[in-house]
């Protein structure tokens, strides 16, 4: 049974999805944003977002709450309603099937984002939730007074390291497998000033502990020397993997890493299907995701037989 028809169905309520909903609604398009949770995506887990224009130092949760409130003025929000399947209809358009209802839409904007990439080393899965974490904002409180390790070399890793240090962790070490960091210099300098220790050319071989994390076994890739670093927590920030199941279902082309391939207007090559945000890889920044969401929403007007204004 079809519950409701929409012009555009946006799957995913992160920065790209909310932005698409705002721009679609302001263009007079009947749109809906679905999300399996309460919205916000990985951006909501960022302790601090210091490079979003006009809002320096805002937390990810606060920024995404503001976007959600803004989007709610222009489109319907179907949060905590996962979409399990999307079918292309012979008559045109799509059938969007969620856990609650079935809907029809003339165009689809995929903003399903990405999930945390794992190290895939012994002990990681077994101790997940028992000292292994992928979100400092979510779990950092439980590690006050403890020695912790952050694995990664990008902005996320250093943002989380600084957050954990300021939260009251006894010591914070950042481990990066290469000899050069990927993070912006500002993140690195702030972390150093706060007393974060940085270990380069270091890979994790195993997460140690019985019931709880007690340390990590590491290897220096330059010297091949192995050692054990004692710690009470391991925060893993080594990148993301795209949530591309629906994109595969619709026949979108993927690159070797699984990201959806799009053109400059966020078109996937599948008629009336667009993809935005972390799902398409590239420069993974909130401001870029918002731009892509706006572009896809405006471009979708053509799929609806309306004039594209730019």
Domains and CATH numbers, the chain: 2-115+240-303 (3.50.50.60), 118-236 (3.50.50.60)
**pLDDT, average across residues 117-141:** 92
Sequence-separated (6 or more) residues with CB below 8 Å from residue 192: 198
Which pLDDT tens digit goes with each residue over 240-288? 899 999 999 999 999 998 999 999 999 999 999 999 999 999 888 999 9
Residue 2 has pLDDT above 80, yes or no: no
d(CA 295, CA 310): 10
Distance CA 35, CA 265 (A): 23
Res 214 pLDDT > 90: yes
Active centre residues (catalytic): 135, 138-139
**217 exposed, middle or buried (CB, 10 Å; 0-12, 13-18, 19+)?**
middle
- Whole-structure pTM over 0.75, yes or no? yes
The fraction of the chain above a pLDDT of 90, given in percent, is 85
The H or E element spanning position 246 is helix 245-250
Other CB atoms within 10 A of residue 147 CB: 16
Q: What is the pLDDT of residues 19-28, one digit of tens each?
A: 999 999 999 9
Using alpha carbons, select from 78, 72, 109, 108 the residue that is nearest to residue 93. Answer: 108
User: Distances in Å between the alpha carbon of 62 and those of 47, 176, 253, 302?
Assistant: 10, 29, 34, 34
Q: pLDDT per residue over 152-198, tens digit each?
A: 999 989 999 999 999 999 999 999 999 999 999 999 999 999 999 99
């Amino acid at each position: 049974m079809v519950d409701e028809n929409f012009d555009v169905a946006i799957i995913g309520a992160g920065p790209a999805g909310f932005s698409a909903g705002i721009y679609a609604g302001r263009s007079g398009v009947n749109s809906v944003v679905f999300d399996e949770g309460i919205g916000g995506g990985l951006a909501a887990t960022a302790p601090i977002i210091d490079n979003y224009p006009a809002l320096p130092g805002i937390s990810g949760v606060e920024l995404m709450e503001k976007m959600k409130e803004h989007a709610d003025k222009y489109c319907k929000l179907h949060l905590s309603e996962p979409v399990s399947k999307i079918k292309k209809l012979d008559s045109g358009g799509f059938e969007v099937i969620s856990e609650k209802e079935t809907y029809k839409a003339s165009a689809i904007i995929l903003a399903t984002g990405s999930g945390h990439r794992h190290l895939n080393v012994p002990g990681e899965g077994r101790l997940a939730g028992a000292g292994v974490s992928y979100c400092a904002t979510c779990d950092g409180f439980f590690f006050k007074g403890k020695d912790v390790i952050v694995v990664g070399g990008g902005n996320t890793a250093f943002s989380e390291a600084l957050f954990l240090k300021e939260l009251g962790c006894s010591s914070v070490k950042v481990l990066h497998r290469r000899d050069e960091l990927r993070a912006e210099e500002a993140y690195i300098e702030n972390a150093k000033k706060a007393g974060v220790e940085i270990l380069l050319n270091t890979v994790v071989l195993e997460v140690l502990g019985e019931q709880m994390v007690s340390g990590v076994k590491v290897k220096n890739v330059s010297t091949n020397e192995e050692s054990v670093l004692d710690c009470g927590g391991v925060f893993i920030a080594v990148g993301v993997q795209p949530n591309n199941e629906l994109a595969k279902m619709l026949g979108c082309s993927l690159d070797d890493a699984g990201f959806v391939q799009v053109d400059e207007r966020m078109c996937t090559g599948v008629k009336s299907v667009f993809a935005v945000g972390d799902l398409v890889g590239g420069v993974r920044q909130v401001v870029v995701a918002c731009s892509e969401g706006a572009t896809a929403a405006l471009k979708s007007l053509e799929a609806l037989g309306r004039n594209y204004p730019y």
